[in-house]
Amino acid sequence: THYSLLIAHSAIMLRLIYLVLLGNYVSGLSNPRWSTSVDRRVFGASTMASTFAILGGRPDPSIASYIDPNTEMPKVTDRVYLDVDIGGKETGRLVISLFGELMPKTVENYLSLCKDNSYAGTTFYRVISDFSIQGGAIGDPTGKSGKSAFGNPFEPDNFNLKHSKTGLVSAVRGVGGGVDSRFFVNVNDNGGWADDRYAAFGIVEQGMDFVKKIEKVDVKPPKNSPIAEVKIIASGVIEQT
């Protein structure tokens, strides 16, 4: 009956919510880790679509708006740079292209921080080989918090860009779910663990060879902190020509 179907699909929705919450608990909002091989998009989309069809509503439109950067790279609106030093022995520059049309507020935040050289003195505080390098915790070298250009953490624009390309730059989320100055660089084409949880807003255009050097530095437990400090010594905006 219609009533029985409502009960059944309500149970499915509760199960879906439980799995998402469990995934967030396992991954950690500010420390992404492998959690589950389940494709949350496929499972979530099919479950929600069938449930909303019975209830007479519509699924969240964001389910159909994912962008694969391998086939549809977002428009680049700005470019910034980070000059990075590894252990006082080697320096390199990362040039990052920003997707201001897709992620206007998130890009505005990152662009402002780079323009003001706010990242100077911050570090890459967590390095996980073949996974990601995380940095940009302004005011907190432990990486537990950061500071946005707006003062307080804020919600990212969307989670539409899939983490399916090496070099994508995404905003780290804090305990409350908002983003600040922290970011990570994806160093693997298979970054599906970050989809739906972290907002990609740019990509390393130049300097991936140096990112790979950072990725291979020696680290210490329990947080995979580099033994030799990996420090951002300057940041800025590259003027468009």
User: What is the token pair recorded at 62?
Assistant: 């964001």
Q: Look at residue 45 and tell me whether its pLDDT is greater than 80.
A: no
Mean pLDDT of 95-124: 98
- In this prediction, residue 101 has a pLDDT band, given cuts at 50, 70 and 90, of very high
Contact 96, 238 (CB under 8 A): no
Output DSSP code: residue 239.
P
* pLDDT tens digits for range 168-224: 999 999 888 899 999 999 999 999 999 999 999 999 999 999 999 999 999 999 999
Nearest to 129 by CA among 185, 202, 65: 185
Q: Look at residue 145 and tell me whether its pLDDT is greater than 90.
A: yes
Higher pLDDT pick, 174 / 29: 174
* pLDDT at residue 175 in the model: 83
* 72-87 per-residue burial string, b: 16 or more CB within 10 A, e: under 16: eebebbbbbbbbbbbe
Partnered with residue 126 across adjacent β-strands are 134
Mean pLDDT of 109-138: 97
Mean pLDDT of 25-47: 38
Higher pLDDT pick, 13 / 77: 77
In this prediction the pTM is 0.74
Mean pLDDT of 64-84: 93
Higher pLDDT pick, 145 / 11: 145
* pLDDT at residue 229 in the model: 97
Q: Look at residue 41 and tell me whether its pLDDT is greater than 70.
A: no
